[in-house]
Amino acid sequence: MDSTDKKILSMLSLDSRQPMAKVAEVVNLSTPAVHARVKKLEEHGVISGYSLNLNPRKLDRAISAFIRISIGKASCSSIADHLLEIPEVEECHSVAGEECLLVKVRAKNTEVLNQVILRTRQIENVTKTISMVVLKTEFERPTQILKETELP
């Protein structure tokens, strides 16, 4: 991946719906050349898809929380399979530390959040949960392309 690919990715990460002709103009390539580069980035898995950014508050999911989960004799993957069945669970990460999993939840209200926590505790081999309710999200940002000076 060269600097032109990084410029293309930076532009598309800001607005993936912008015309390729506009991207081509900024990176000084033809539109077909930009299309070819984007296709190559997709084929190599650098671009894994295109999505909408939804506002959870407008979708009646005003409460955000993180749940740290300890498990007994089970794999993180097997617990994650059960968590996939809970629609309020948005993310699930295997982590190092005292707990094995870190889960991000968005719920309509604290009653629904409590139901999610109780349902999580009912999963076989879940031994402990620690919940943290988000009071305020200071920022969220998508993965960004680092400038050369920001790379280690």
Report pLDDT digits (tens) over 24-78.
Answer: 999 999 999 999 999 999 999 999 988 888 888 888 999 999 999 999 999 999 9
pLDDT for 147 equals 67
Mean pLDDT of the chain: 92
In a domain, 93, yes or no: yes
* Residue whose token pair is 């948005």: 90
Is 149's pLDDT higher than 60?
A: no
How far is residue 129 CA from its own chain's centroid? 22
In a domain, 127, yes or no: yes
Number of domains in the chain: 2
Look up the domain containing 14 and give its range: 3-43
In a domain, 51, yes or no: no
Q: Are residues 96 and 62 in the same domain?
A: yes
Q: Are residues 60 and 127 in the same domain?
A: yes
Q: Are residues 68 and 117 in the same domain?
A: yes
Instruction: Give the domain CATH number at 11.
Output: 1.10.10.10
Could you give the percent of the chain with pLDDT greater than 70?
A: 95
Point out the least confidently predicted range of 9-23, 79-93, 109-123: 9-23
The answer to whether the predicted template modeling score (pTM) of the entire model surpasses 0.85 is no
Q: Are residues 38 and 69 in the same domain?
A: no
Across the range 1-19, mean pLDDT stands at: 90
Q: Are residues 24 and 75 in the same domain?
A: no
Q: Are residues 34 and 72 in the same domain?
A: no
What's the CA gap between 42 and 46, in Å, rounded? 6
Q: Are residues 66 and 39 in the same domain?
A: no
In a domain, 50, yes or no: no
For strands 126-133 and 89-94, give the pairing: unpaired
Q: Are residues 64 and 27 in the same domain?
A: no
Could you give the percent of the chain with pLDDT greater than 90?
A: 75
Cβ atoms < 10 Å from Cβ of 58: 8
Point out the least confidently predicted range of 60-69, 102-111, 133-142: 133-142
pLDDT for 151 equals 47
